[in-house]
Amino acid sequence: MFNDIDYETKATVTAEELQAFYARQRQCPSHSSEQIGHMLDGTFCVVTARRHGELVGFARGVLSGASGSIAECKLDPVCQGPACVTKKEGRIEHDDSGIAREMASRVIECLRGENVEKINILAHGTEVDFCQELGFVQAKGVVWMELPASAQLTKKNIAVSTAAV
């Protein structure tokens, strides 16, 4: 479908360009270019897909000890084909053209080059099939949890029993 895609591994993308890409996907509207710049600074591998010079796909991998993660793999829904469900946030719901698969494969190869023991990915419901097609399997017993940065930390009083034997 799209034969005119240029891929770049270990790509350079500016925070402003990525912010504009996110805005087109209606994702992360509150992220400043400074926040995106910090995110990029902590990224090990960036892969881009461009069509006629415009950023249409973005993937990145991060390292943490012996494991790596595909932290993000976003593709403009226009490039995903007719089965794209939500058509927002760049979620990989249908990869008719193989652009997302190519980007994710390049990130995986970058991470493998660092001899990681495992590679993780977080999939939103509509992306599970895409991740499974890449070879990912659902981790047993894992529950994704998050804490908003603005939330107050709570202390729980834990009674410690020191019963004598």
**Cβ neighbours around 79 below 10 Å, total:** 22
Encoding tokens for residue 34?
Answer: 């400074």
The structural domains of the chain, with segments of one domain joined by +, span 5-134
**Cβ neighbours around 68 below 10 Å, total:** 26
Tens digit of pLDDT for each residue in 40-67?
999 999 999 999 999 999 999 999 989 9
Tens digit of pLDDT for each residue in 125-153?
778 888 998 999 998 888 888 888 888 88
Task: Name 33's Cβ contacts closer than 8 Å, sequence gap at least 6.
Answer: 15, 16, 19
3-state secondary structure of 143: coil
Cα Rg, the chain, nearest whole Å = 19
Is the model's pTM score more than 0.85?
Answer: no
For domain 5-134, which architecture applies?
3-Layer(aba) Sandwich (3.40)
